[in-house]
Chains A and B, each alone.
Chain A
Amino acid sequence: MLKLLCCELAKLRRRPLFFAAAASSGLIPLGCALFLPEFHTFSSGAEAVDSMMSALFQMSACLLLMPALVVLASSLFFTEHDQDTLKNILTIPVSKPALAMAKLILLLLFAIAFMAAGGLINLGILLASGWTPDGFGRLFLVGLGLGILIWAGALPCILLAAALSRSYIISVITAFFYTAVNYILSMNDHFLTQPFGLNAGTLFPGPMAFRWYYQYLDLTSPQLTGLLERIGPYFLNTAQTFLAAGAEAAVFLLLIALVFQNQDT
């Protein structure tokens, strides 16, 4: 699998789409630093860290990383068909499920690296602005965890893109629609106030991720008190979150492998 993974990495050379997706990890942190007025009015380093990381979680992870993963997945999967390289790989032989797994693991690493890069850019901005990055370490780790959750959450959409069509356009449309739906659900009280179990609030990646990472942010701000009162009892602990995401990922990994296996060579 390591060999396959290295080969998947090697295939990304000179792929502008991949580098554009990677570069977008710095978009939100830099945008916040440059354009958000409250960035210059923080009262402490902890508040600055919290605000910057919150923006990273809500915008970078949920709005950029999710579609980036689906579009990259489409590109990784379709390339083998479009360039007719699959026959070369299969006659080595490498099985289709193993190839699919290598691609999905690469995407997992990308998701983690994306969040790590965003976090480190935030740290750089904070230090350059003279703030002491209090509490950064914990939120950095939450960011990495969020990367994993977003990756697991993108799998159903990757399955859809792989199963429905080999068209990039349809994949992009599907990715943005799925991202928008998840973002809306993560803003909706109905989905945020469901107990842990087999329900949309747990199974959809948007609300599930929100109910996990939100508890790690500073919730003392007066305007967030009402929200905290409503959703606080429904926060998911790390074990619950990663158990649900892991189970979903296992199912969708299997389905993606099956779909890829049964597609024409």
Chain B
Amino acid sequence: MSSYIIETHGLTRRYGDQVSVSNLNLHVQKGRIYGLLGRNGAGKTTTMRMLLGLTAPTSGTIQLFGHPFKGPQKESLSRIGSLIESPGFYPNLTGIENLNIFARLRGLKDSRWIKQALELVNLPYSDKKLYAHYSLGMKQRLAIALAIMHDPELLILDEPVNGLDPIGIAQVRTFIRTLCHEKRKTILISSHILSEISLLADDIGIIDHGILLEEESLANLEKKNTRYLRITVSNAPAAALLLEDKLNAQALSIIDGHTLTTEDPRLDTGEAVRLMVEAGLTVQDVHLYEDTLEDYFKKITGGEGIA
């Protein structure tokens, strides 16, 4: 049996000539937060919809909890909580009445489940407010409550912080971390907000134009990020020669007459500055730069930033 909670092989979804998801091989490990990162329209939602049986794949296979998933099956779906796109509820009912409907369909007889879920997302249990009068943030929280109400092992959350204010975003982030690290839930979360994914995810999948370009743990991605030293000096070519000659500095690039960079990880910055000053050069600025996840995203998608 596979060690992955979610595993896809060659998952593809076409709409006519347009390929929404192409040959996707996704691997989500148990008890970890997997961040699916991509621009709007990259194929994140389609992927999640296929994992939930809402959209049939054109080709490819899905394994959930180690078993083949072929369309909506109770055995798998009862172990999953989901939030796909925008929250969907009946506007003429209160939040509780809405949750009661879905709880009854799930066979949850005890109202304690609903109460717990609402407490976790900070929504009042006895609120008589109709869903139609909820703010966007409240709607999003109610949708998260619906996803966790039946205590699922796997959560599939599509852009769960959409519409939340900064405090709400921080609360949801903490809440997702708690679910994963304390309650051992596996979470697949999609976002086009890089900072959210970098703050939350243990593993990251970068999807662009329906293709999964990279699938790696955040720790490994950080290792791959480029670090470089940028020096602003009175004479950049002379400084480059000096550093190469005296410190055997590698990967030096002269940007312009006053700026040079080096990606040499061994270079002693203090020694470099001392040598340049002793050689009569005026050092105006020395700064260590490190690529962010956004820089990495730009690099591998070959395009502009994500948002």
Q: Are B92 and A15 in contact (CB under 8 A)?
A: yes
Report yes or no: B72 in contact with A91, Cβ–Cβ below 8 A: yes
User: Does B301 sit within 8 A of A, measured CB to CB?
Assistant: no
Given A10-B97, A14-B130, A265-B54 in contact, is the A89-B105 Cβ separation under 8 Å?
A: yes
Stretch at the interface among B79-87, B163-171, B180-188, B241-249: B79-87
Tell me whether B102 and A92 are in contact (CB under 8 A): yes
B53 at the interface (CB under 8 A from A): yes
Assembly CA distance A15 to B106 (angstroms): 24
Bound complex: CA A88 to CA B147 (Å): 9
A165 touches B (CB below 8 Å): no
Neighbour of A91 across the interface among B52, B87, B97, CB < 8 A: B52
Residue on B nearest A84 in the bound complex, by CB: B88
A15 to B146, CA, bound (A): 23
Min C-beta distance of B96 to chain A, whole Å: 11
Is B84 touching A87 in the complex (CB atoms < 8 A)?
Answer: yes
List the B side residues contacting A15 at CB < 8 Å. 92
Query: Does B225 interact with chain A (Cβ within 8 Å)?
Result: no
Contact between chains at B101 and A7 (CB < 8 Å):
yes
Among residues of A, the one whose C-beta sits closest to the C-beta of B73 is A93
Q: What sequence of 0s and 1s flags, for each residue 6-18 of chain A, a beta carbon within 8 Å of any chain B beta carbon? A: 1100110111000
Known: A7-B104, A13-B97, A84-B85. A90 touches B90 (CB 8 A): no
B interface, how many residues as a size bin? 20 to 34
Check A11 against B84 for contact (C-beta < 8 Å).
no
B93: contacting residue among A14, A91, A92, A95, CB under 8 A: A14
Q: Is the CB of B53 within 8 A of A93?
A: yes
In the complex, whether A85 has a CB less than 8 A from a CB of chain B is: yes
The majority secondary structure among interface residues of chain B is loop
Distance, CA A7 to CA B90, complexed state (A): 12
Verify if A44 is at the interface (C-beta below 8 Å from B).
no
Q: Judging by beta carbons under 8 Å apart, are B101 and A83 in contact?
A: no
**Residues of A close to B89: CB separation below 8 A:** 83, 85, 88
Does B55 lie at the interface of the complex (its beta carbon under 8 Å from any beta carbon of A)? Answer: yes
Task: Enumerate B60-88 residues with CB–CB distance to A below 8 Å.
Answer: 72-74, 77-78, 80, 82, 84-88
CB distance from A263 to the nearest CB of B (A): 13
Q: Tell whether, in the assembled complex, residue A87 and residue B54 are in contact, meaning their CB atoms are under 8 Å apart.
A: yes
List the interface of chain A (C-beta within 8 A of B).
3-4, 6-7, 10-11, 13-15, 79, 83-95, 265
The total number of A-B Cβ pairs within 8 Å is 76
The answer on a CB contact under 8 Å between B90 and A84 is no
Closest 6 CB pairs of A and B: A84-B88, A93-B72, A14-B92, A85-B88, A93-B77, A7-B101
Q: How far is the CA of A92 from the CA of B79 in the complex (A)?
A: 10
Closest Cβ neighbor of A96 among chain B residues = B72
Set of chain A residues within 8 Å of B92, measured between Cβ atoms: 11, 13-15
What is B's interface to A at a CB cutoff of 8 Å? Answer: 49, 52-55, 72-74, 77-78, 80, 82, 84-93, 97, 100-102, 104-107, 130, 146
- CA separation between A93 and B102, bound complex, in Å? 10
The chain B residue with its CB closest to the CB of A18 is B92
- Chain A contacts for B106, CB-based, 8 A: 92
Out of B74, B91, B97, B104, which one reaches A83, CB within 8 Å? B91
Q: Are A86 and B72 in contact (CB under 8 A)?
A: no
Residues in B whose Cβ lies below 8 Å from that of A94: 105
Q: When A13-B97, A92-B102 are in contact, do A265 and B55 touch as well, CB less than 8 Å?
A: yes
Of B77, B90, B102, which is in contact with the most chain A CB atoms at under 10 Å from its CB? B90
B80 to chain A: which residues have CB within 8 Å? 91
Do A90 and B54 touch (CB < 8 A)? yes
Assess whether B53 is in contact with A92, with CB atoms less than 8 Å apart: no
Contact among A6, A85, A88, A90 for B53, CB-based, below 8 A = A90
Smallest Cβ-Cβ distance to B101: which chain A residue: A7
Q: In the assembly, what is the distance between CA of A95 and CA of B54, in Å?
A: 11
Between-chain CB contacts (< 8 Å), 16 pairs: A7-B101, A7-B105, A10-B93, A10-B100, A11-B90, A11-B93, A13-B93, A14-B93, A83-B88, A87-B84, A87-B85, A88-B146, A89-B105, A91-B77, A265-B54, A265-B55
A195 to chain B, nearest CB (A): 47
Contacts of A13 in B (CB 8 A): 92-93, 97
CB-CB under 8 A for A91 and B82, given A86-B88, A265-B55: yes
B104 touches A93 (CB 8 A): no
A92 to B88, CA, bound (A): 14
What B residues does A87 contact at CB under 8 A? 52, 54, 82, 84-85, 88
Cα-based distance from A11 to B104 in the complex (angstroms): 12
Q: Is the CB of B77 within 8 A of A88?
A: no
Looking at the assembled complex, report how far the CB atom of A2 sits from the nearest CB atom of chain B, in whole angstroms: 10
Asked if B91 contacts A92 (CB within 8 A), the reply is: no
List of A residues within 8 angstroms of B52 by Cβ: 87, 90-91
Cα of A223 to Cα of B55 in the assembled complex, Å: 62
Q: Can you add 13 more A-B contacts, CB < 8 Å, to A85-B88, A89-B102, A265-B54?
A: A3-B104, A10-B93, A13-B92, A14-B130, A83-B89, A83-B91, A84-B85, A87-B82, A91-B77, A92-B105, A92-B106, A93-B73, A265-B49
Which residues on the A side are within 8 Å of B84 (C-beta)? 87, 91
Measured between beta carbons, the chain B residues less than 8 angstroms from A91 are 52-54, 72, 77, 80, 82, 84
